[in-house]
Chain A
C-alpha cells in the first residue's frame, strides 16, 4: 500500500530525470556520431563508440585544455571577487544603518536591469584606459560586476536571519566587527555563500559576450568563445562541437557537485532559545 502510494511520485521523478538528462545524452550521441550522417539528418539515436578515436583526435587539434583553464581562471576570479565584496556589502547593508542605504540597494538592483550589450562599448573604452583588454583578470572583474549584486542580495538576506544577539554576544566576548564577520557570520551563512558561489561561478564560466569582445588573443579564449569559433561560414563540425561542449561541462558539473553539499539548511538551529 505504501509502495503503491509512492509509485506516482517515482514515475513523475523518473520522467523529470529523463527530461533533464536527455540533452546531455543527445550531446554525447551527437559527439559520437558519424559527421556525414549528421548532415544527412540520419543521426543514430545511440552513441557509436567506434567514433571515439576520431572525436578525440579532432578535439586534440584545438587548444581545448588551454580554453578550459582560461574559463576556470575567469570563473574562479568572478566567484572570489563576488564573494569577497558581496560578503562585506551584504553584511553592511544588513547590519548598518547609514544614509543612502536604500539608494545603494537600488543601484545594485539596476545592474541586473541593464543588459550587458548596452554597456559593452563604454566598458571597452574603460578597459582600454585601464589596460585591461586581453586580460583574464579584467574579464573576471567585468563578470563580477554583474554577479556581485546577486551575491550581495543573497548574503544580505542570509545575514538578516542571524539573530543580533549572537553578534552582540561576540562583541561582549571581545571580538572586533571584522572578526564577527569572518568567524561568526560567514560560517553561519555558509549555505547562502555556496549558493552565491554557484551563481557567480556559472556566470563566469558561461559568459560569452565580454569574453569575445575583450579577448583578442586566441590563447586567452575561454571555453565559450572557443566553442563558438568552431562555427564556420560553410561548415560546422557538429560532433566536435558537441564533444568539446561535453568536455567543457565536466568541470562545471564537478564544481556544482562539490559545493552542493554545502547548501544545507538549519545550521543556525540551537543558536537561540527553542
Chain B
C-alpha cells in the first residue's frame, strides 16, 4: 500500500480559495478521518486525492511518486460517495462486478452493442461471478444480487456501494460521508461494519465526515479542518484531551468543552463583569484568557460551594448519564445570571434536579485547559 503524502496542497475555484495550503502524511493501513463543518474543504480534499478534482498547487505523492496528473484509474483507489452513486439501470450484481468488468474490457468493447454483450459475458465468467458473490455474501447482499438499486433500502444501497469499492481490492479507500443519509440506528451498525472491515482488509481508509462521533469511534487519526486549514492532527483521544484551539475544543465532544472567558489578575480569575474567584492551579499570564473544562470534569455542588455559583437551566436525561446545563451567577451578593453560553456538567445515571436550582460548580485545577483569548490557541500548561 502506498504511503500518501499531501505536500502543501491547495485548491481554488476562480478567486475563491477553498484549501489554502494543506500538508499531511498518511501511512499504510491508517483509518484517517477528515473532520470539519460543512464547507470546510474536506470533500474537496478527498476528491483531489481520488483524482476527481484538479490540484491547484502543491504535490500529492503515492508511495513517493508524484501523482498530481494521474487519472483515477492510475491511482487505483476506491471511492464511496455520500449519495451512493449506484448505476440505477444495473442490478446489484452488475453494480458490484462493474469495476472488475472494466478492468477486463478492451477499448473496442466500449462500442455500443458490443459493450452490453461483453459485459454480460464477463459478468457470467467464473472469476468475476465468484468474486462478486463472495463480496456480496460478506456484506449480506447475497439474496439481493438480481435486484436493482431502486428496490433496495438506504442501508442496502450503502452496502452495495461498499461492496463495489471492496471488490477490486484497492490499496486506498476513500469514503465521502457514506453514512450521512442513514438513520441513527443503521448509522451505528454501519459504523461498526466499516471499522471491522478496516481491520479485516488492513488497507488505508480516508473517511470524510462532519460527525464527530463517527470520527472518534472509527479513526486511528483525525485531521480537523476549518475553512480549508488544518486545526489539529492527532489520535482521537489526544485531540479530546488536548485540543489545539478553541475551534477544536468546541467541535470535539458532545456536549463540547466549556469555554469560559476570564481575566487573570494576581491569582484571581474574574468572569466578566463581576464574578471573581481564587484559582489554586498554575495560572497563565495576567490578562484575558479562556478557561476550558470538559463537562465530565465539572462537579455539580450544593449552593455556596465551589468557585462558580450557578443556576440549573437545562436537564437532559439520557438514561446512562444526565447532562445539566447551568448559567453562571454573577456572585454571592448580586445574584443575576451572566450573559454567556450555558456551562454543561455531565453526571452518571439519572439525576433528578429541578430547573432553577441554585448550585455551585467545582473542578480540579489539573483538568483545566487554558486558551489564549486573542488567538484561541491552547496555552502550554
Contact A166 B115 (CB under 8 A): no
List A contacts of B110 (CB < 8 A). Answer: 176, 178-179, 182-183
Total number of A residues with any Cβ neighbor in B under 8 Å: 27
Interface status of A217 (Cβ within 8 A of chain B): no
Chain A residues contacting B52 (CB-CB under 8 Å) are 168, 171-172
Give the distance to chain B from A249, nearest Cβ to Cβ, in Å. Answer: 30
Residues of B within 8 A of A271 (CB): 84-88, 149
- Expressed in whole angstroms, the minimum distance between the Cβ of A84 and any Cβ of chain B is 9
CB distance from B236 to the nearest CB of A (A): 27
Are the C-beta atoms of B86 and A173 separated by less than 8 Å? no
Residues of A within 8 A of B154 (CB): 273
Task: Say yes or no: is B81 at the interface (Cβ < 8 Å to chain A).
Answer: yes
- Say yes or no: A188 contacts B88, CB within 8 Å: yes
Are B85 and A169 in contact, with the CB atoms below 8 A?
A: yes
B204 to chain A, nearest CB (A): 16
A190 to chain B, nearest CB (A): 8
Q: How far is the CB of A262 from chain B (nearest CB, A)?
A: 13
> How many Å lie between the Cα of A58 and that of B107 in the bound state?
55
Instruction: Indicate if the CB atoms of B87 and A184 lie closer than 8 Å.
Output: yes
Scoring A165, A169, A268 by chain B CB atoms within 10 A of each residue's CB, the highest score goes to: A169
In contact, B115 and A179 (Cβ under 8 angstroms)? yes
User: Which of A163, A174, A188, A268 interacts with B99 by CB under 8 Å?
Assistant: A174
From A174, A175, A270, A273, give the contact of B88 (CB < 8 A).
A270
Asked if residues A183 and B115 are in contact (CB atoms below 8 Å), the reply is: yes
**Among B79, B116, B152, B164, which residue has the most Cβ atoms of chain A within 10 A?**
B79
Residue among A163, A173, A179, A270 making CB contact with B164, cutoff 8 Å: A173
Q: Does A36 contact B (CB under 8 A)?
A: no
Q: Which residues of the other chain, B, contact A171 by a CB distance below 8 angstroms?
A: 52, 71-73
Contacts of A175 in B (CB 8 A): 98, 102
In the complex, number of A-B residue pairs with CB atoms less than 8 Å apart: 95
Task: List chain B residues, Cβ under 8 A from A179.
Answer: 102, 105, 110, 115
Q: Does B157 contact A (CB under 8 A)?
A: yes
Say whether A165 contacts B150, CB under 8 Å.
Answer: no
A5 at the interface (CB under 8 A from B): no
Asked if A270 and B72 sit within 8 Å, CB to CB, the answer is no
A182 touches B50 (CB 8 A): no
Q: CB-defined interface of B113-141 with A at 8 Å, one 1/0 digit per residue?
A: 00110010000000000000000000000
**CA gap between A163 and B88 in the complex, in Å:** 11
Is A267 in contact with chain B by the CB < 8 A criterion? yes
1/0 per residue B76-92: CB within 8 Å of A? 01110111111111000
Say yes or no: is A63 at the interface (Cβ < 8 Å to chain B).
no
Is A254 an interface residue when CB atoms closer than 8 A count as contact?
no
Name, among B77, B102, B149, the residue most crowded by chain A CB atoms within 10 Å (CB to CB).
Answer: B102
Picked from B99, B112, B157, the residue with its CB within 8 Å of the CB of A186 is: B112
**A174, B98: Cα distance in complex, Å:** 9
A243-274 residues at the B interface, CB under 8 angstroms = 267-273
Of B86, B88, B181, which is within 8 A of A267 by CB?
A: B88
Cβ-defined contact, A270 with B85, below 8 A: no
Report the minimum CB–CB distance from A188 to chain B (whole Å).
Answer: 6
Mark A residues whose CB is within 8 Å of B: 163, 165-166, 168-176, 178-179, 182-184, 186-188, 267-273
Residues of B within 8 A of A (CB): 50, 52, 71-73, 77-79, 81-89, 98-99, 102-103, 105, 107, 110-112, 115-116, 119, 148-152, 154, 157, 164, 168, 181
- Please name the 10 residue pairs, one residue from A and one from B, whose CB atoms are nearest each other, closest first: A270-B150, A272-B83, A270-B149, A165-B85, A271-B88, A169-B85, A179-B110, A174-B102, A173-B99, A273-B181
List 14 A-B pairs, Cβ < 8 Å: A168-B52, A169-B164, A170-B102, A173-B99, A175-B102, A176-B107, A178-B110, A269-B150, A270-B148, A270-B150, A272-B85, A273-B82, A273-B83, A273-B157
